[in-house]
Each structure stands twice: as structure tokens, then as C-alpha cells.
A and B are shown apart, each in its own frame.
Chain A
Amino acid sequence: MTDYAYAGEILRVDLSSGKTWGEKFEAADRRKWVGGAGLGAKILWEEVPPDVGWDHPENRLVLATGPLAGLPVWGTGGLTVVTRGAMTNGATNTQANGFFGANLKYCGYDAIVFQGESPDWVYLHIRDDGVELRDASELLGKDTWETQQSLEKTLNLSGHNLSVYSIGPAGENLVRFAAIQGDYGHVASKNGCGTVMGKKKVKAVAIERGTKGVAAAHPKALFAAADDIAHSLQTDPSTRGLYLYGTLGGVRNLQGMGALPIRNYTTNVWPEEVETQKWEANGLREGFDHRGHQCSACGMHHCHMQVISSGPYKGQVVDEPEYEGWSGAGWTIGATDPQQVTWMNTQLDRACVDVNEFGWLCGWVMECQQKGYITDQDLGFRLEWGDIDGANRLLEMICKREGMGDLLAEGTKLAAEKLGGEAQDCAIYTEVNNSPRGHDHRSRWEEMIDTCTGSGGTMDTAPPVFPTDYGLPARVHPQDAEEVPKHVGGLRGRRAYEDSLGACVFTTRAPMDVLCRSIQAATGWDVDKDEAMQTGRRINALMRAFNLRCGIGPEVEKPSRRYGSTPVDGPIAGVSIMDQWEKMLDIWYETAGYDRETGRPKPELLRELDLEDVAEALWGANV
């Protein structure tokens, strides 16, 4: 009875001893932590003490799904990766979709927890109860797509009968912003989660489409709720564009508000020669032969495969870039030909690094070259704005840690700090080392404050989704120093809850009551929007507590000089976020219920969130 929506077991893998075993996902823990980000946060807090850094064998790498995965709600193949990550050396909460969660649950598991460190390179093969660590020496050096193709051949399986999530050469060589990619185009990219996987010498996880069933408490109601979510996605003005084109619409929309990062934040104005129609959502899609490549049970017209139709890479099959790809592999580095950008985007997925962090790094190197801070001799070649072949050469150097690539493999912040001076001043990063998403956040203040204060390697709250559900205004001015932090702090929790469901945040963008109906039908719980928010806030608070225990506090909650600079042109020229920064933090802390001085969630909040033990750990027994 209690197993509705859950497989009920967590797969433990000790890489040092090669032992694997199943552990019950206790029913009492399910409603409190849900799955995904919540389950991962609980495991981090309980099992990773402060002296276990990201590269310590006892670090945990949690690959978790959640209650909606494998069920007919759209976009529910979800993977959440939680670990102590290589970028911040703190908590990580990063997602990918595809079929990971569905296939894993049909094999009988809600999550995989890696611990220890393997003496030799291995991949984990799962076929129902048959779980095995296998020799991965044949896969070494292969990129993520080659790895999946190779395992399909070895296991004689095709399509979604096999899910493969792997690291590429970047993760093998411990590039600090290495990612984990699966099922041709789905990337869990943040906080060096692929670096941790590489350190543990796990090349891939290969999950067959298991034979077991996942039950829902009220299956008919689940179909009805899934249809309601789908209807909302198809018709609500805030989601219809995503339904039709995924995130492609972002380029033009964000450009219009000065939030498209162009050439490492040096300008907010499009070059005159750019054909704007090409960059509209429909223009980007019509520029390619393409075909839907959806995640489990998804009806969005979002993820696509496409073929490059002109230029030097003509004929190559690639994954249609997300907005983040058009930005990180394109505008940020001055590249404005969609045919080239889409190729570079897939190169990044295959080598397997975070596309955002690569964009900031490559754009920074380009600007430094232009200004003479990094010479041709330092780099070994000349890298101009928009040079895609050069960017790919840089990627190869980074993945192999060759020449200056060895320094750049440490990510923008560490590389910039090493060079110092004027070079450091033009680097985009956060002091905590969360990689900013591919926007110019100088015009999206909600994302800048969220990225700087986030505890999971990226933003915690993310763009406001149906804020009126929680009594907040539907929209606030993106540069309003009072309303923005109230919005970010006030909606804090919703995203963490979504990240625990085994679903995709593009398909959970429905009114919270509607989303909750699907969770009720799946699990049998009488969960409502307030419980969902409470649960999400619990997860956020625990990740923050984990980071504080690791020594990551409010002193690093700020943007780098360039990231927080004042735009020189475009729609928000002359508007400075840093003039308002301290005030915004004050309001954000107040709204989130955290202590401004120490950064800790306040004891009364922790008690309200049923985190007595955390309150005691952070504040002592008598507070």
C-alpha cells in the first residue's frame, strides 16, 4: 500500500569494495523528503561531514528520481544529482531529464547512491535486480554520445530500452565544471557533478528499461491531473511558448530586455548584421531539419534532434540547443551563426561540461586576448570573438588539461583569480562559485541575487512560476530593489519541491493546486500547495545548513566585479545593481527567514520545518 508512486528502494553502491545493496526508502521519509533534491539533501547532511570534501572517497554522489517518474505526467523521466560538488565544494542540486527516472523505477529503485572510490574505471549496469559494476576501460576517452552508442552495441539494446548517463573526457580528467549527460542531450550540468563522478572513476550508469511496475494510488485521477497540467501548459500565456518551442524564444525575449549576455557582458546591443528573424523561436526551429526527441511521457514540443543544414558541419546530427546553449555556445562568445552554435553546443554536451560555465570562461579568454591580458603565446593560438573552431580547440585543451587548458579547467573564478588584476576584473563568476545561467543578470536582478545566494551550485528559486499562488504579485519590475528580493525569497521552496518530484521544471509549470493534484493521485497523500512549499523550504534550509557546516557562508554571497557591473549600453545602460546590493540582501534574508549576519536559517524557521536536529547543530541545544 505504501509503495504508491515509489519503487521503495535505494540502490547503494560502494565503489571501494565493489559491493552493491538495496536499502529501503522508508515510507516515513518519503513525504518529508519526497525524492530528488530532498532525498539527496538528507543523505548529504547525514553522511558527508565537513572534512569530506568533493574529492574525498566518502563523498556521496546521489542520482535520484522522484514520485512522478515513470508515471504518465508529462516530462517525468527526471534525474536530480546531489553531491558535494567540485565548483563550490558545497551542496549540489542539478537536474537532467530523458528516461533515467522512468527506467530506474521500472528496475525497482528510486535512487542510486555512490560512495567510496573505485580502483579502476567502471560503469554501473542495472537490469532489474541484476546490478553490476563492469569494466569501463573500453569506454575511456569516449564522449558521452559515443559512450551511449558503445553501450547500446555491447548490450544489444536500442532507443529507450537503455538509458545511459555518463561523463565525457572532461569528467575523466577532473575538469572542475564537468557535467553528466544522458539519453542524447540531457545534461545535469552544475557544480562539477561530472567531476565527482570522474573522481569516483564511474564512467557511466547504464539502466535497462526494467520489467517492474510503478503503482499510482488513484490512476484515473492521475491521468486526469496529467491532462489538466498539459492543458495549462498548452494554454497559459506564461507557458504556451515553452510548449511550442521549448526555450528557443528566450533569445529574442531576453535580448529585448537587455538580458542576453553578449560578448562577455561587454555590450547589450546586437551587431547590425544579425538577421533577427533567424533568432526568433520559429526561425531557430525552421532553420533545421528536426524531429521530436521527447522525455518520458512528454507532450511538449521542446527537446528536439536536428541536422545541421549548412556550413562546415553540414549533415551532423545534433541536439537542438536550449536557450542556455544558444547563449553559452553562442552570444556569450560572440558567435551569431545558429548553424555553428548548434554544433558547438553538442560538442560541449559530448565532451560534457556545463555550457554556462564554458561560455563565461571562453568569453573571458576572448576578451582577455583582445585586451592583451592573455597573449597568443600564453594560450598557444589566437582566439577571436565568435571563432567556433577556436572555441572547440579551447574545449579540447581544457578537457585534456593541455597547456593553458590546465588552468582554464579550474573554471572561470579560479583561473581569473590566478591571473588577477585587469584580467580578473572582466571575469563573470560568483564568489561562492555558482555558475550564473546564460543571461545578463544585470538586467534580471532576481536571478543575480538568487545565483549569489543559492546553496546548490546554481539558483535555488529560479524564475517566478505562478507567484500569485503564494500571494505574491504576478510580475515585478526586474530592477526593483525591494520587490525583487521579496519575490525571490517569497517563492523560495517551490523549485526545490519540483526538483524532488522526478519531473522537469518545464512541465511542472502549472498552478500549484493542479500540480498537487497529480502528486495526490500518484502517492495518495493529501498534499496541498502549502505543504509543497514547506517541504521545498525544508530542502533549501538543509542544503544551506550543509554549506554553512562546510564553511560556506554569507561572506561569499556576491557577484564578481564584471558580473555585478553596470551595463554600458542597451535597454538598461547606467543602471547599477551593486548600489542596491546590501539592501536587496537585507530584504531577501528577512523574507527567507535566515539570519543576516551568520547566514543561518533562524531556529524558529528550522523548527517550523521539522528540522530540530539542524537547529541544534547550527545554533546549539539551548537556542
Chain B
Amino acid sequence: MREALSSNRGGAMKILKIIPEKCTGCMRCELACSYEQTGTFQPSKAVIRVSAFEGHTSYAPYTCPQCDEAWCLTACPVEAIGISPAGAKDVADDICVGCKLCTIACPYGTMFYDIDTHKAFKCDLCGGNPACASVCPTDAIVYEEADKTDWVGPFAAERAKSPAGPLAGVL
């Protein structure tokens, strides 16, 4: 299974790039994402989540960056996680046994466990047409080609040094 899913790997891929400065915390991405996951609007089942930081003045969505290391894939004892044609690390529901090892292995906290289906679930880039990016009213989430998938680390390091926006010089 992993072999088959991995066949498209290699070369530049499109990822979800997030621009926190543009996010206003409206959570519309969570709604669209949960609709893709469940067919209803249920943010608790979304695999993109919006966090508040710097008090209640700033927000940023975060989701699986489809990192190269793919700890989830390495940790899975039953090889349920592979790479989809869109380049996303993806969970095969019929193989997943719900052991949650991947949720522990993931350093980003973007591997989730569904208490109803007893399976792990995560961002699969909606098969190459991510709903979160298409519904974001402020273009804070864009789907574009990138050489490096991990934008979170540098962003967090930079932001910790000096808060941007309204709280620059306040916090």
C-alpha cells in the first residue's frame, strides 16, 4: 500500500502556506474543512485549527505541513499512512487500527484521532483542491508550490522575537 501511494513522490509539491498576518480568526477554514471530513459543519472534526495568540488580537490557522520527515508515517505500526497523489501524507481507513501512535509521533499536533470512527485522520490536501484555501476570505491560506514544507518553525522563531501588528511594542 505504501509503495503504491508513494509513486508520485519527488519534485516540488504544492503545500498549504499560511500567512498569519492576514488571518482574522473567522474560523471559516475550520467549517469548510470539517465539511470535507464529515459532510456537516463540525469544527471538532476539522484538521485545520485556528489558534489565538498575543492575547485575543492575533490568530493563525495551522494544519499538517506535509513535512518531509513524516514521523506519523514512520511510527505507524501497520503501514496505514502513505503518500497520496496530491503529495499528502494520508491515512488509509481500512488499514488504520486506531492505536494513536501517529498522534504521539507528530511534532505539530496535526494528526487527530476520531472518537467516533476510532481512526486517525489528518489533512489530505482535499486531494489537491484544499477547501480551507478556497474559502478563506482574506487569503491567509494559499495552496502553492514550495521547496520547503516547514514554514512553522521559522515563523514561530521570528514572531517570538518581536510580535507583529497591533501589539508590536506593547507585549
The chain A residues found within 8 Å of chain B, CB to CB, are 70-72, 74, 99, 102, 106, 158-160, 184, 209-216, 219, 223, 230, 288-299, 305-307, 315, 317
- With a cutoff of 8 Å between Cβ atoms, the chain A residues found around residue B23 in the complex are 292
Pick the 8 closest A-B CB pairs, nearest first: A299-B137, A159-B52, A292-B24, A213-B42, A213-B40, A211-B44, A294-B26, A294-B24
The answer to the question of B58 belonging to the interface, with a C-beta cut-off of 8 Å to chain A, is yes
In the complex, the answer to whether A219 meets B39 with C-beta atoms within 8 Å is yes
Known: A72-B135, A158-B51. A214 touches B166 (CB 8 A): no
The answer to the question of B71 belonging to the interface, with a C-beta cut-off of 8 Å to chain A, is no
The chain B residues found within 8 Å of chain A, CB to CB, are 23-28, 31-32, 34-35, 38-45, 50-52, 55-59, 135, 137-138, 165-170
Of the candidates A223, A295, A305, the one whose C-beta lies within 8 Å of that of B56 is A305
In the complex, the answer to whether B44 meets A210 with C-beta atoms within 8 Å is yes
- With a cutoff of 8 Å between Cβ atoms, the chain A residues found around residue B31 in the complex are 70-72, 297
Of the candidates A71, A294, A317, the one whose C-beta lies within 8 Å of that of B166 is A317
In the complex, the answer to whether A160 meets B27 with C-beta atoms within 8 Å is yes
Known: A159-B59, A160-B52, A306-B166. A215 touches B39 (CB 8 A): yes
Kindly state the separation between the CA atoms of A294 and B137 in the bound complex, as whole angstroms.
11
Known: A230-B137, A315-B170, A317-B57. A159 touches B42 (CB 8 A): no
Could you count the A-B residue pairs with CB atoms below 8 Å apart for me: how many are there?
Answer: 110
- With a cutoff of 8 Å between Cβ atoms, the chain A residues found around residue B55 in the complex are 317
Contact residues of B: prevailing secondary structure: mixed
In the complex, the answer to whether A213 meets B137 with C-beta atoms within 8 Å is no
- With a cutoff of 8 Å between Cβ atoms, the chain B residues found around residue A298 in the complex are 24, 26, 28, 137
In the complex, the answer to whether B57 meets A305 with C-beta atoms within 8 Å is yes
**5 A–B contacts, CB within 8 A, in A order:** A159-B59, A223-B32, A294-B26, A297-B27, A317-B166
In the complex, the answer to whether A213 meets B45 with C-beta atoms within 8 Å is yes
In the complex, the answer to whether B43 meets A72 with C-beta atoms within 8 Å is no
In the complex, the answer to whether B41 meets A294 with C-beta atoms within 8 Å is no
Query: What would 14 more interface pairs be, CB under 8 Å, given A211-B44, A219-B41?
Result: A70-B41, A99-B27, A158-B56, A160-B50, A184-B56, A209-B44, A210-B44, A213-B42, A223-B32, A288-B166, A291-B24, A296-B28, A315-B169, A317-B170
In the complex, the answer to whether B50 meets A159 with C-beta atoms within 8 Å is yes
- With a cutoff of 8 Å between Cβ atoms, the chain A residues found around residue B59 in the complex are 159
Most buried by B among A295, A298, A305: A305
Kindly state the separation between the CA atoms of A289 and B59 in the bound complex, as whole angstroms.
16
- With a cutoff of 8 Å between Cβ atoms, the chain A residues found around residue B169 in the complex are 315
In the complex, the answer to whether B26 meets A297 with C-beta atoms within 8 Å is yes
Kindly state the separation between the CA atoms of A230 and B166 in the bound complex, as whole angstroms.
27
B80 to chain A, nearest CB (A): 24
Kindly state the separation between the CA atoms of A184 and B24 in the bound complex, as whole angstroms.
14
Kindly state the separation between the CA atoms of A384 and B56 in the bound complex, as whole angstroms.
35
Of the candidates A184, A211, A299, the one whose C-beta lies within 8 Å of that of B26 is A299
In the complex, the answer to whether B26 meets A213 with C-beta atoms within 8 Å is no
Minimum CB distance partner of A185 in chain B: B56
Of the candidates B41, B44, B51, B58, the one whose C-beta lies within 8 Å of that of A216 is B41
Most buried by A among B41, B55, B135, B166: B41
Minimum CB distance partner of B45 in chain A: A213
Known: A292-B138, A299-B28, A299-B138. A211 touches B41 (CB 8 A): no
Minimum CB distance partner of B169 in chain A: A315
In the complex, the answer to whether B135 meets A213 with C-beta atoms within 8 Å is no
In the complex, the answer to whether B42 meets A317 with C-beta atoms within 8 Å is no
Kindly state the separation between the CA atoms of A160 and B56 in the bound complex, as whole angstroms.
9
Kindly state the separation between the CA atoms of A315 and B27 in the bound complex, as whole angstroms.
27
Minimum CB distance partner of A209 in chain B: B43
Kindly state the separation between the CA atoms of A71 and B35 in the bound complex, as whole angstroms.
10
Of the candidates A216, A293, A315, the one whose C-beta lies within 8 Å of that of B25 is A293
A474 to chain B, nearest CB (A): 28
Kindly state the separation between the CA atoms of A315 and B167 in the bound complex, as whole angstroms.
8
Minimum CB distance partner of A234 in chain B: B137
In the complex, the answer to whether A295 meets B26 with C-beta atoms within 8 Å is yes
In the complex, the answer to whether B41 meets A72 with C-beta atoms within 8 Å is yes
Kindly state the separation between the CA atoms of A317 and B168 in the bound complex, as whole angstroms.
11
- With a cutoff of 8 Å between Cβ atoms, the chain B residues found around residue A297 in the complex are 26-28, 31
A288 to chain B, nearest CB (A): 8
Of the candidates B32, B52, B138, B166, the one whose C-beta lies within 8 Å of that of A289 is B166
- With a cutoff of 8 Å between Cβ atoms, the chain B residues found around residue A295 in the complex are 26
Most buried by A among B26, B35, B38, B43: B26
A415 to chain B, nearest CB (A): 35
Minimum CB distance partner of A211 in chain B: B44
Minimum CB distance partner of A302 in chain B: B24
